[in-house]
Structure formats: C-alpha cells, structure tokens
Amino acid sequence: MKPVIVRTREELAEARARVEGTLAFVPTMGALHEGHMSLMRQARRSAGTVAVSIFVNPLQFGPGEDFDRYPRTFDADVEACAGAGVDLIFAPTRDVMYPDEPQVTLKAGPMGEVVEGAARPGHFDGMLTVVLKLLNLVRPDVAIFGEKDAQQLAMIRRMVADLNVPVRVAGGPTVREPDGLALSSRNRYLSPAERGTALALSRALRAGADAAAEGPDAVLGAAGAVLDKAAAADPPLVLDYLVLVDPATFAPVTSGGPAVLAVAGRVGATHLIDNVHLQLGKEH
Ligand SMILES: Nc1ncnc2c1ncn2[C@@H]1O[C@H](COP(=O)(O)OP(=O)(O)OP(=O)(O)O)[C@@H](O)[C@H]1O
Ligand SMILES: CC(C)(CO)[C@@H](O)C(=O)[O-]
Ligand code: BAL
C-alpha cells in the first residue's frame, strides 16, 4: 500500500485523527537509506500505524554547512517508505514548519555544547526545536531515532524527561555497509577515494572496542592510531573529535563501565560521525 502523503498541519491533523490504536513515528531529513528503513521496520513492529516525517530543518544547520546541497530525493523516499510499510508521510515545507521567523526556540543546555555540539555550535538547539514541534504535531506513542546519532538520541531523551513530553523514545541500531562504513545520507557526497579514507572512522571504533577490557587509555590509543594514519592519507581525514563519554550525559568517562566511543571527522567537505557502545574495563 502507498503511504498517505500530507504536507500541511491541517492535513496532518485530519490524518492523525483517523489513526486508531498506537502510532510510531520516525523523523528524518529524507535521502532515505537502509538505516532509515530499519527504523521504519522497528516502528512497524512497535505500533499499529507508522508515520515518517521528511523535512530538512534549516534551524539545525550552521552557516557554511550543507543545508542548500543536502540531498533531496522525495520520489525515491516515498518508494522506500512504501517498501517498509509506512502508513503516513508528513513532508512539510519550510513555511509550514516555520510560518513566522521563530522567536521561541529550545536551548539544548551544556550537554548540547560538547562533542558534536562543539563541532556544530547551535546544532542541537535547532534539532531539539524541530523534534519538539514534530512531536507536538504528530503526537506519536513512540518516536524512534538511530543510535548512529548517539548524542542526538541522548539529547532527545533528556528533552523528553526535562520537559515531560508524553512520548516513549526508542533507539535503533546503526546499520553499516559490509565494510563497516555507517550508512549516512551524506555518504553520497564521497568520491571513491574519500570513501576509502572515511572507512577509518568505523575501523577506529572497532580497534577501540577490541581494547575495551584494558580501559579508557587503551581504547583511545588504539582508535587514535587508526585515525592518525587516516590523517596522513590522500585525501586526509580531518578529525573533529574522538571521545569516550557517558552514554546518557556525554560527559567524559575516565573509569570502567558503560561508555560511548564517538568519532567525527571531515573528508573533503563531508562531515561524518560514528560511534560504538563499549563496556570499559578498569585501567591496570
Ligand atoms: N546508519 C544508520 N543506522 C540507523 N539509523 C540511522 C542511520 N543513519 C541515520 N539514522 C537515523 O535516521 C534518522 C534520520 O536521520 P537523517 O535523515 O539525518 O539521516 P542521516 O543518514 O543520519 O543523514 P546525515 O548524513 O545528515 O547524518 C535519525 O534518527 C538517524 O539517527
Ligand atoms: C531528528 C531529525 C529528523 C531532526 O531534524 C534530524 O536531526 C535527523 O534526521 O537525525
Ligand atoms: N543526522 C543528524 C542531522 C544532521 O546532521 O543535521
């Protein structure tokens, strides 16, 4: 069955009113790939009705970032949604989401200023603002986000807790290419040579994960060695960060226990991120 496509708040409200039973929601920026499809299938298993939004949110892009050239592939996205059993697609224009220049926006707070937030100042403020607006419009029982964007997922959980947003948040595992590269809409910017360099991100995470039992310094050392090589490659990886952080707060982790090893870097003009969950042993 083809999904119903709604573009305005009024059309969405009518479609929402027709939903009986539970609703699962997968927010996206389009250019859909197998990572998004796996979230949609997870949504299909979680609720009777599945909604997806497709909106490239200007508020979460900084000046000089790729808002204008972000891939927009609407027809293929509709096909992908149909294949994953999506019932409803909300595809608003900028004017529908922001009819007036927004005055009241969310502030992500200190957690939004570290790691990815330090590399992209203001990004999490804009992301949380649009996610709260989408949740208010769609009113899902469960909203599903990818673990690839680990800090985004942690920030959304924190927003939902801090602001008592009536939704259950679920994470979906990162889908990878057979060689380890995390699927991302931005991968399509990469030339074959750039893609070769970009593989260092997932390789570094694997090297770090293999050293988890030996503690934080060993993890950062093993991952850092892979990234150092990529920094000297042609084309080079320009590292933005490699950090070991608490999965819920994104504060640095220095002793044993659960942690996220997160990495980001640029290859050419493309900003890529990846992460892995670890159980850290104690330093000897
Ligand atoms: N490889 C993946 N596996 C699982 N979920 C993913 C993957 N890539 C993205 N997602 C999730 O899909 C949702 C929509 O993300 P988005 O549309 O920004 O795609 P993206 O591929 O992350 O794009 P970008 O290149 O901008 O990072 C988010 O919850 C994101 O975490
Ligand atoms: C959650 C989201 C759809 C908000 O614009 C975006 O940040 C994304 O695609 O991960
Ligand atoms: N995938 C997170 C959205 C962004 O990069 O802006």
- Domains of the chain, first to last: 4-172 (3.40.50.620), 185-276 (3.30.1300.10)
Give the whole-number percent of the chain exceeding pLDDT 90: 98
What average pLDDT does the structure give for the chain?
97
38 CA: nearest ligand 1 atom: 4
pLDDT tens string 168-180: 999 999 999 999 9
Q: pLDDT tens digits, residue range 64-114? A: 999 999 999 999 999 999 999 999 999 999 999 999 999 999 999 999 999
Q: Which of 222, 283, 260, 217 is nearest to 111 (CA)?
A: 260
- pLDDT tens column, 106-158: 999 999 999 999 999 999 999 999 999 999 999 999 999 999 999 999 999 99
Q: Counting ligands in written order, which one lies closest to the CA of residue 183?
A: 1
pLDDT in tens, 253-273: 988 899 999 999 999 999 999
Query: Residue 100, SS3?
Result: coil
Distance from C-alpha of 37 to C-alpha of 173, rounded to nearest angstrom:
12
The pLDDT > 70 percentage for the chain reads 99
Kindly identify the ligand whose nearest atom is closest to the C-alpha of 73. Answer: 1
Residue ranges with strand state E in 22-93: 23-28, 49-54, 88-90
Pocket test for ligand 1, best of 25, 26, 28 (most atoms within 8 A of CB): 28
Please indicate whether residue 57, judged by its CB atom, sits closer than 6 Å to ligand 2.
yes
Q: How confident is the model at residue 283 (pLDDT cuts 50, 70, 90)?
A: low
Residue 31 annotated in ligand binding? yes
Q: Are strands 270-280 and 142-146 parallel, antiparallel or unpaired?
A: unpaired
Strands 23-28 and 49-54: parallel
Residues 6+ apart with CB under 8 A from 90: 6, 7, 12, 51, 52, 53, 54, 55, 134, 137, 138
Q: What is the pTM of this model?
A: 0.97
284 classed as catalytic: no
Per-residue model confidence (pLDDT) at position 187: 97
